[in-house]
Amino acid sequence: MRIATWNINSIRARIDRLTAWLARSDVDVVAIQETKIPDEKFPTERFTELGYQVAHHGTNQWNGVAVLSRVGLDDVQVGIPGLPTWGDPAVSEARSVSALCSGVRMWSLYVPNGRAIGDPHYDYKLQWLAAVRDYAAKQLVDQPDAQIAFCGDFNIAPTDDDIWSVDYYRNSTHVTPPERQAFSALVDAGFTDVVRPFTPGPGVYTYWDYTQLSFQKRRGMRIDFALASPALAGRVTGALIDREERKGKLPSDHAPVIVELED
DNA sequence: ATGGTCGGTGGCCGA
């Protein structure tokens, strides 16, 4: 089985690229972030006609996450208990959704950006990550053998090897100790970055800014991850970052990340 | 060369 995660940066702008990539990449389950579309406008048929079932969570033009699966999609869960809210305390942002796909609990996460150190969004990001960690840790206490994948855009570069320039990102979000600690806490809870052993750095990234010819100059960040529970990590036989998808006409600014699992 | 790149929106904001 093959699973993947991809910040698509608008499902409407990227629908043809995404369906072509699905046909070519042979992935069974995909976590998608930043669909930027409400549920009622999501192009579900474009995926069902390819054999994929869809669980989408989107409320407006911001955020939006989905799980696509051609190996079963059951027990859809929207949101995670304990996540902080932004703005209206009665409304949760559309940043997390999951489904059970052939025995794997597949999560699509879009971690808040943080914007700037000291910005209220930065504290929101840290609170959001703490809630995910607490939830993730509890899953393994309740079910140590569960196959769980927390996939998505974490908006954190865990080490200096994951950014093209330490100087460029000095005093920026994505690299601060509190953010890196929040990421490590998820790893310490038992969820392994299963891609890194197959894509060693430095200089290996999943995101390149649209401006300044960043991709062409190899100026990127590694901020998209598949974090696997012990039972799932034990099934991983390979992984890759599909840089080809960052090329060509109107690409997403993120590349897809693919993980191969033994059957 | 006083910009630089997208997407969604609506005549700017977020990434």
Domain ranges of chain A: 2-261
Cα torsion through A179, A181, A183, A185, rounded to 10: -150
- Residue A25, CB, less than 7 Å from strand B? no
Task: Supply the pLDDT for residue A72.
Answer: 98
Query: Cα–Cα distance between A67 and A148 in angstroms, integer?
Result: 14
Query: Cα–Cα distance between A123 and A125 in angstroms, integer?
Result: 5
> Residue at minimal CA–C1' distance from B9?
A61
Phi, psi angle pair for A148, to nearest 5°: -130, 135
Task: Supply the pLDDT for residue A184.
Answer: 98
Task: Supply the pLDDT for residue A3.
Answer: 98
Structure tokens at A209: 């800014």
- Residue A62, CB, less than 7 Å from strand B? yes
CATH (residue range A2-261): 3.60.10.10
Structure tokens at A140: 């393994």
Q: What is the pTM of this model?
A: 0.97
Distance from CA of residue A213 to its chain's centroid?
A: 24
pLDDT beneath 70: ranges in chain A: none
Task: Supply the pLDDT for residue A88.
Answer: 87
- Residue A12, CB, less than 7 Å from strand B? yes
Phi, psi angle pair for A131, to nearest 5°: -65, -40
Contact of A193 with A226, CB cutoff 8 Å:
yes
Query: Cα–Cα distance between A225 and A156 in angstroms, integer?
Result: 10
- Residue A112, CB, less than 7 Å from strand B? yes
| Chain B bases closer than 7 angstroms to a protein Cβ | 4-9, 14-15
Task: Supply the pLDDT for residue A204.
Answer: 98
